[in-house]
Amino acid sequence: MDSGSSNCFGRFLLIAFFPFLFVLFLGVNYFGIINLTNISAHTFYIIVVIFLIFLLFIPHNAFISVCKIKSQFSVTRNELEKNLEKTALEIEGKKKSILSVRDFLEDYFKNVRNDNFAKVASSTFPMLGILGTFIAIAISMPDFTVSSSKELDREISTLLSGVGTAFYASIFGIFLSLWWTFFERLGLSRIEQLTLSLEDIYSKYIWSERELLKFKYNQKAIQDNELIRALKDTFNLDFIKDINREHLTSYEKIIESTKSGLKEVESALNNSTKLLVSSIDKLNVAQNSIEAKVSLESNLKEFNKNAKELQKLLESFDNGLDNSLKKIDHELAIAVEHISSMVDSISKIKE
């Protein structure tokens, strides 16, 4: 047996010592070694059973657990350091762990003792004592159907003596609860000291809550800036002004060229009309109808020529308008890309 195990067994004996003295005291009185008090057989055996149950609970007391933890301290630190490496996070060029030493130790200590036993122990022993008292009273209950007064007095005496000794079970149960609670609190305070010491040792290897909160706000600020930049790119007034300026310039050129072409067509049509009128006059008054016919054919050719030029001008207007619409589509596609970037930034912020 190593020194750590011997030390833990010594603590086990320390917790069991005074309850054992109480049982021993009742035992020597029950067997008649000394006669300081009267103790019935059923009361004594009930107290012995309660004491044996108490012995089963002792290994789960915090005073024993802290001894086991200290005996395995090197193993505990190795496990802690491995978990620190696994949970390491690099932030702004520094690498630290996000592990909580306290949470790790709480999970690690659950393997040392049964918390359920520790939680119910302080209330279990008084209940066992009260239960033992009622059992002892029930066993010592006399038969009141006797016929003579002497027998009745004897039965009452037996009842009173049994009731008197039965309360030892309740006293023993309350004493065990107080004794257990004292060592439980003492062990928990030692565990808290150990936890604080480990937190202090590894504090420089672990991100503090303040540092993580600062990093979180910095990340949020970066995301906000990305969102603002995306919004500016999407709804940039200069961008809109450039689009309007370019398209207005294109429309102005188209309108000017259209006006100029229409004026030329108008002038050509006026000339053609005058020539047609002149030709008609010649047909009415001229003697030579052949000359009039030739003049009419020449004027019709000129009219057809002007009509073709008007068709080309209209086609040029359509092409210019189509190019302008294509350019608008291209600029709108760029705007949609900016909006998509803005949506991605908003999604990151929500996450």
Do both 33 and 103 map to the same domain? yes
Do both 48 and 174 map to the same domain? yes
Do both 344 and 260 map to the same domain? yes
Mean pLDDT in residue range 93-121: 83
Closest CA relative to residue 137, chosen from 153, 152, 158:
158
Mean pLDDT in residue range 60-79: 87
- Whether 180 has a pLDDT exceeding 90, the answer reads yes
Whether the pTM exceeds 0.85: the reply is no
119-162: pLDDT as tens digits: 899 999 999 999 999 888 888 776 556 566 666 666 666 666 66
Do both 305 and 160 map to the same domain? no
Where helices occur in the chain by DSSP H, the ranges are 3-30, 41-57, 62-71, 73-86, 101-109, 115-140, 149-201, 209-234, 237-285, 289-350
CA–centroid distance for 79 within its chain: 25
Q: Using pLDDT thresholds of 50, 70 and 90, give the confidence band for residue 172.
A: very high
- Whether 23 has a pLDDT exceeding 80, the answer reads yes
Do both 236 and 182 map to the same domain? no
DSSP per position, 293-337: HHHHHHHHHHHHHHHHHHHHHHHHHHHHHHHHHHHHHHHHHHHHH
What integer best gives the mean pLDDT of the chain?
A: 75
Domain assignment present for residue 221? The answer is no
Domain assignment present for residue 149? The answer is yes
Q: Using pLDDT thresholds of 50, 70 and 90, give the confidence band for residue 297.
A: low
Closest CA relative to residue 204, chosen from 126, 317, 57, 96:
96
How far is it, in rounded angstroms, from Cα 266 to Cα 81?
94
Q: What is the pLDDT of residue 106?
A: 83
Do both 199 and 231 map to the same domain? no
Residues sharing a CB contact under 8 Å with residue 276, sequence separation 6 or more, in sequence order = 296, 299, 303
- Whether 13 has a pLDDT exceeding 90, the answer reads yes
Q: How many C-beta atoms surround the C-beta of residue 132 within 10 A?
A: 24
Q: Using pLDDT thresholds of 50, 70 and 90, give the confidence band for residue 82.
A: confident
Q: Higher-confidence residue: 261 or 202?
A: 202
Give the domain extent around 50: 3-207
Q: What is the pLDDT of residue 56?
A: 94
Do both 184 and 80 map to the same domain? yes
Q: What is the pLDDT of residue 46?
A: 92
DSSP 2: -
Do both 294 and 200 map to the same domain? no
How far is it, in rounded angstroms, from Cα 262 to Cα 238?
35
When divided into structural domains, the chain yields a total of 2
215-244: pLDDT as tens digits: 666 666 666 666 666 656 655 555 555 655
Q: Which residue has the tokens 């102005």?
A: 252
Domain assignment present for residue 98? The answer is yes
245-293: pLDDT as tens digits: 665 566 566 667 666 766 666 676 666 666 666 666 665 555 555 565 6
Q: What is the pLDDT of residue 48?
A: 96
- Whether 14 has a pLDDT exceeding 70, the answer reads yes
Buried b (16+ CB within 10 A) or exposed e, 14-51: ebbeebeebbeebeebbeeeeeeeebbebbbebbeebb
Do both 50 and 184 map to the same domain? yes
Domain assignment present for residue 213? The answer is no
